[in-house]
Every structure is written in C-alpha cells, then in structure tokens.
Amino acid sequence: MKIIRIVCGLLAVAAVGIALPVAAVTPAEDIAAIIMLRGYPCGGAVVAMKEVVSENGARTITATCPNDSKYQIEVSAKGKVAVTPL
C-alpha cells in the first residue's frame, strides 16, 4: 500500500512537470542578460548581433542594444565571459 502511494505521488509530480510550459529564451535575450548582469545598460533584448567562432572554440559576439549601446562579448573556450563596451 505504501509503495502504491509513492508511485502515485511520483506520477503526479511527473504529470505536473510535463504540463508546465517552458519559456524559451532567444539568443538576443540571453546576450542582453549577460550585458546587464555585468552592469552595463542595454534597454531590452539585443537588436543586432554578430558572432564569430575561432578555431579553438572561443566566441566573439558584437551586440547592439535598443539604446544604441554597442558591446563586444568574448566567451573563451573554457566558458569565461568578458563584456567590453565599444
């Protein structure tokens, strides 16, 4: 009887997890969040971005925010992130 309750409880939790919608984050919103978390103004989701990936896996992203601020985001192959205003 106790096992049946546990199984029913797990099924209920799984059903709720399946029913909850997952909000998708766009790459522009993700870049804007990185910029703002580093303390720079952006004013919303990034309007334009350009990404270049080097041979070693590092990424350089140039982004323009709605407030016309421009930033360069460097992501190393190890995942270290640096934001530089342009």
Residue 50 · residue 64 · CB < 8 Å? no
Strand ordering across the sheet containing 48-53: 48-53, 59-64, 70-75, 81-85
For the cut 80, the answer to whether the pLDDT of residue 10 exceeds it is no
31-42 pLDDT per residue, tens: 999 999 999 999
Nearest to 63 by CA among 76, 77, 74: 74
Give the number of other Cβ atoms within 10 Å of residue 43's Cβ: 14
Helix extents (H) in the chain: 2-19, 27-37
The domain locations on the chain are 24-85
* One-letter identity of residue 79: G
30-76 pLDDT per residue, tens: 999 999 999 999 988 888 999 999 999 999 999 999 999 999 999 99
